[in-house]
Structure 1
Amino acid sequence: MSYRILIADDHPLMRAALCQAVADSLPGSETMQASDFSTVETALAHDDAVDCVLLDLHMPGMNGLIGLMLLRNEHPAIPVIVVSAMEDAATIRRAMQYGASGFVPKSAPVDRLGAAIRAVIEGQIWQPDTDEADTAEDVDVADRIAGLTPQQLRVLAGIAEGKLNKQIAYEMGVVETTVKAHVTVILRRLGVVSRTQAAILAGRLALHATEVETAGS
């Protein structure tokens, strides 16, 4: 059976390798490519026939797990498999908490990627075995953030990056008062009283380049 797969990674060589892996393990499947999060959103907004997204967490515009949550909120019918160089149990656990249907390390064999895609499209969950269990705090944070709307998640991403309300408003194409209203709701739902506290909480969802380099070393 052939599938339509969107491959999202900012490294051309990795996208090429993933395209080849899909071609080898799922003959006849069609691949699309995106090098940043905005391209992913544009592609999905104009194409509802995508069967699965292979998503790198460290990509321009992603803001780590916030980008993953945005995709799941806006396109709940399209499963997302995280394909990452970060293979630690905490990253895997968080990715699954925030909506991924599968997690495949970039070091995994080609046949494992194909098996993961087939399983996820059929409605199954695919992830490496980990010995770590979700902490009560992790579950609580996941539940609180999961209640935010896509627009509120975008505002939270801006807060995490240290942007002012006027900057966030400009990038979202809304007036500043709208952003202020979102901030008020975000603080209340996250159970914090300041932007700084919200930024710290959101920072737990961000995956930084130094972490990727460490994981890949």
Structure 2
Amino acid sequence: MKILVVDDHVLIREALRGLFRELRPEATVLEAPDAARTMQALAEQPDVALILLDLSLPDRDGLGLLAELRARYPAISVVVLSGFAERANVVRALDHGALGFIPKSAGREVMTSALNLVFSGGVYIPTEILGSGPPIPARPQPQSPAQSQPQPGDLGLTGRQTDVLALMMQGKSNKAICRRLDLAEPTVKNHVTAILKVLGVSNRTEAVLAASARGWQLSARAD
């Protein structure tokens, strides 16, 4: 597994390298201090699995780079690491295809939990963005029936709609979902519309926020 850390601060890159060494000792950690060297690194090693991206780069707007990365390398997961964790920044990052947003102010325990969640296929969103309550765990924690959150089926989502939502939470586009589930694009669009209606939201980003707030850990079923 290859991980690319994009940040213009040497100390942050070194700290993340040390953290990844603990979490994924088998991983190869690459570094880039700016957008230009990020694209160079990916041209040389396109098999990177995860990019941890700072939005404040010296040579380019981070959101613009994020959008290009998602367009050119859709198979690579991108997680934003930023010192600006206002709700508007989080939503913009998710709108541009990020699979998570980790504030630089997060403590080591929170950052570890967030990265483990991403490694397991989830989306990490700061607790303060989701509202009060504990951080989203890296893995579901056992709950009593009285404490359990309603699951997708409980709200009326079909199995296929749950598959579509799982892929939406991975940042997949409609076309990518079509390929993954072998569905026609109009069918996927209909599923997305149904998901938004059930969750009471108006767009894909809000759907991901709503699903993450419920602590859902979803995986698309194999065909």
What is the TM-score of this pair, normalised by structure 1? 0.55
Distance 2:26 2:105 in 1: 24
Distance 2:96 2:55 in 1: 12
Paired residue for 2:91, among 74, 93, 99?
93
Paired residue for 1:51, among 49, 52, 60?
49
The residue that corresponds to 1:109 in the other structure is 107
Give the deviation of 1:122 after TM superposition: 3.9
Distance 1:58 1:17 in 2: 18
The residue that corresponds to 2:21 in the other structure is 23
Contact 1:25 1:110 in 2 (8 A): no
The residue that corresponds to 1:14 in the other structure is 12
Distance 1:26 1:121 in 2: 10
Greater RCO, 1 or 2 (C-alpha within 8 Å, sep 6+): 1
Paired residue for 1:73, among 68, 71, 74?
71
Give the deviation of 1:121 after TM superposition: 4.0
The residue that corresponds to 1:84 in the other structure is 82
Distance 1:116 1:72 in 2: 20
Distance 1:29 1:112 in 2: 21
Contact 1:22 1:29 in 2 (8 A): yes
Q: Which portions of structure 1, spanning 4 or more consecutive aligned residues, are displaced by more than 2 angstroms?
A: 24-29, 109-124
Distance 2:108 2:21 in 1: 10
Give the deviation of 1:31 after TM superposition: 0.6
Q: Counterpart of 2:51 in 1: which secondary structure?
A: strand
Distance 1:113 1:45 in 2: 28
Provide structure 2 residue ranges, at least 5 long, that are not aligned to the other structure: 132-223
Question: Cα RMSD over matched residues?
Answer: 2.1
**Cα distance change on mapping 1:72 and 1:56 into 2, 3 Å:** same
Given residue 62 of structure 1, which amino acid in structure 2 is its aligned partner? Answer: R
Given residue 87 of structure 1, which amino acid in structure 2 is its aligned partner? Answer: A
Q: Counterpart of 1:28 in 2: which secondary structure?
A: coil
**Cα distance change on mapping 1:9 and 1:89 into 2, 3 Å:** same
Distance 1:5 1:114 in 2: 15
Contact 1:54 1:83 in 2 (8 A): yes
Give the deviation of 1:62 after TM superposition: 2.6
* % identical aligned pairs: 36
Given residue 106 of structure 2, which amino acid in structure 1 is its aligned partner? Answer: A
Contact 1:61 1:67 in 2 (8 A): no
C-alpha distance after superposition, 1:92-121 (max 9, x if no partner): 111111110111111223343343334334
More helix by share: 1
Structure 2 counterparts to residues 32-181 of structure 1, below 5 A: 32-129=30-127, 130=129
Give the deviation of 1:127 after TM superposition: 1.2
Provide structure 1 residue ranges, at least 5 long, that are not aligned to the other structure: 133-217
Work out the number of aligned pairs and report it.
Answer: 131
Structure 2 counterparts to residues 188-207 of structure 1, below 5 A: none
